[in-house]
Amino acid sequence: MPVDFSGTWNLVSNDNFEGYMVALGIDFATRKIAKMLKPQKVIKQDGDSFYIHTTSTFRDYLLEFKVGEEFEEDNKGLDNRKCKSLVTWENDKLVCVQTGEKKNRGWTHWLEGDDLHLELRCENQRLPSGTEWFHLLE
Ligand code: VL7
């Protein structure tokens, strides 16, 4: 039985989100707002098919993909840079590589008990221990 990331998740910590946003070239005013947000993620997983909807009071972002199939990502409302993204399994971790203008760009999701972790990477920046999201029991 593979891992299941499905559920509703609320952000609890975002260490070094600032550093990640600087690496992405997000302007000061936007960073100030974005840092204060407590986004929610709704993840629907059907085997290797994923729907990840990140919502906040400021911007929303929807990502749908199938593990192992490269796709075009537009990062609309984020940094708006297009890239080619590929998500793969590394054991029970979901690893995304976003190939484009920015080096070393990507993210990794994994579960620890009832917590969802997210590491965001761009250039020389990453969120070291992984941003944590609490599972909302339904
Ligand atoms: C995407 C934000 C900073 C612009 C707004 C911040 C709005 C709410 O990559 C992400 O999720 C993956 C893994 O679950 C799936 O898409 C999170 C948030 C990164 C980058 C850019 C700041 C403006 C945050 C959408």
Whole-structure pTM value: 0.94
The confidence score (pLDDT) of residue 138 equals 62
pLDDT value at residue 77:
96
pLDDT tens series, the chain, 138 aa = 579 999 999 999 988 888 899 999 999 999 999 999 999 999 999 999 999 999 999 999 999 999 999 999 999 999 999 999 999 999 999 999 999 999 999 999 999 988 999 999 999 866 554 678 888 766
Q: Ligand 1: distance of its center to the CA of 1 in Å?
A: 29
Determine whether the shortest distance from the Cβ of 58 to ligand 1 is under 6 A.
Answer: yes
Q: What is the pLDDT of residues 24-47, one digit of tens each?
A: 999 999 999 999 999 999 999 999
Instruction: Report which protein residue has its CA nearest ligand 1's atom 13.
Output: 107
* Ligand 1 atom 20 nearest Cα: 78
- The ipTM value here is 0.96
Q: Are 77 and 61 in contact (CB under 8 A)?
A: yes
CA–centroid distance, residue 54 to ligand 1 (Å)? 7
CB contact at 8 A, 16 and 126 = yes
| CA proximity to 31, closest of 73, 68, 71, 79 | 79
**Is the CB of 30 inside a 6 Å radius of any atom of ligand 1?**
yes
Q: What single-letter amino acid sits at 124?
A: N
Burial category of 81 from C-beta neighbours within 10 Å (exposed 0-12, middle 13-18, buried 19 and up): middle
Q: What's the pLDDT at 113?
A: 87
54 lines ligand 1 (CB under 6 A): yes
For residue 136, what pLDDT is reported? 75
